[in-house]
């Protein structure tokens, strides 16, 4: 059968989009595929030309050459090389297998024909250049302490790894936990997963779970610390010692500090292992009352309330 204009063959305009080309190709591929037409030589030849048309028009470079030179553009672009011959053989049913149920709804359904064609050498990456099969990745969860996550550490992990012959081996793997790692972070150790052919092993993917701290809380790179104050410290101000991630430091509490007020300690948060950027530490002030109060203290508070009226403190509720 003489070659027909590719656009006419697919029934599309020369300005057709890639999606239009793909849609028309799907329809014609189902119609002329050998599994659907049997030994019809004319249909097999038509299927071959439909395949060549799609291969050319779906590739921007080949399409440009075709638009300029017609079918001769294939030779200009090197389309007559051995790989093209291999694809043509596959299109005629030589060296390629198709399941007609994939085209007409049986089994797993028609799905996307292009994945099957690509895997068998039609367009895309030729089989000889596809990535070799590799071993499976292994996922493993490691729990670490809060300060281990902040400062970094090293963990030894005893893994049981399946080998290609079906046996198992135990391996002790040392994993470095970078400083500043967050809860839920994942660390990938290349080649430490299941063994693959020719040493092409999978990876070990470690998911980090960080335990809570007794009094520090973390938000990104920032650290939050609740700081309890006595009534006198909150009212009059004070100088107190507070813990940080690395040391104890002295902090001045301003007079008339209410509960919920935040004081910022710049650069006292977590340092990221990605860019060495450090967060801040925020002190959240909480005024606490004594559990028991004598009569004299109660009288002092009554006098304080009379001398310092605060009738408008709940005006926001009105």
The answer for 219, left when phi > 0, alpha when psi is -120 to 50, beta otherwise, is beta
- Provide the H-helix boundaries in the chain: 6-10, 18-32, 34-37, 41-57, 60-69, 72-76, 82-91, 101-104, 113-119, 146-151, 231-236, 295-307
What is this structure's pTM? 0.54
Tell me the C-alpha distance between 80 and 83, whole Å. Answer: 8
Positive or negative, the CA dihedral 266, 268, 274, 276 is: positive
Instruction: Provide mean pLDDT across the span 193-220.
Output: 90
Query: CA–CA distance from 207 to each of 141, 142, 170, 301 (Å)?
Result: 5, 6, 20, 54
pLDDT of residue 41: 82
Tell me the C-alpha distance between 304 and 290, whole Å. Answer: 17
- For residue 206, pLDDT over 70 is answered with yes
pLDDT digits (tens, 9 = 90+) for 127-163: 545 556 788 898 999 999 999 999 999 989 888 877 7
pLDDT of residue 250: 96
* Mean pLDDT value across the chain: 80
Kindly list the structural domains of the chain, giving each domain's residue range(s) and its CATH number in brackets, ordered by start.
6-129 (1.10.287.110), 138-210 (2.60.260.20), 216-307 (2.60.260.20)
């Amino acid at each position: 059968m003489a070659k027909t204009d590719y656009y006419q063959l697919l029934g599309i305009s020369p300005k057709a989009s890639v999606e239009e080309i793909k849609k028309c190709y799907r329809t014609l591929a189902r119609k002329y595929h050998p599994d659907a037409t049997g030994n019809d030589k004319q249909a097999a030849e038509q299927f071959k030309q439909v395949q060549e048309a799609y291969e050319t028009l779906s590739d921007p470079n080949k399409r440009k050459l075709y638009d300029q030179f017609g079918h001769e553009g294939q030779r200009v672009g090197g389309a007559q090389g051995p790989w093209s011959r291999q694809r043509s053989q596959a299109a005629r049913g030589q060296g390629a297998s198709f399941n007609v149920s994939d085209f007409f709804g049986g089994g797993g359904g028609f799905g996307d024909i292009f994945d099957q064609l690509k895997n068998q050498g039609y367009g895309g990456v030729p089989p000889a250049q596809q990535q070799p099969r590799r071993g499976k990745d292994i996922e493993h969860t490691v729990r670490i302490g809060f300060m281990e996550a902040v400062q970094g550490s090293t963990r030894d992990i005893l893994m049981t790894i399946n080998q290609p012959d079906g046996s198992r081996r135990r391996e002790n793997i040392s994993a470095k936990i970078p400083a500043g790692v967050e809860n839920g972070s994942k660390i990938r150790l290349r080649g430490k997963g299941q063994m693959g052919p020719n040493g092409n092993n999978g990876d070990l993917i470690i998911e980090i779970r960080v335990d809570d701290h007794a009094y520090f809380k973390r938000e990104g790179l920032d650290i939050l610390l609740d700081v309890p104050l006595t009534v006198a410290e909150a009212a009059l101000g004070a100088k107190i010692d507070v813990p940080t991630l690395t040391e104890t430091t002295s902090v001045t509490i301003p007079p008339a500090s209410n509960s919920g007020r935040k004081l910022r300690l710049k650069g006292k948060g977590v340092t990221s292992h990605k860019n060495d950027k450090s967060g801040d530490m925020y002190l959240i002030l909480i005024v606490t009352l004594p559990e028991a109060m004598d009569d004299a203290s109660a009288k002092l508070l009554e006098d304080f309330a009379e001398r310092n009226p605060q009738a408008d403190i709940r005006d926001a509720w009105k």
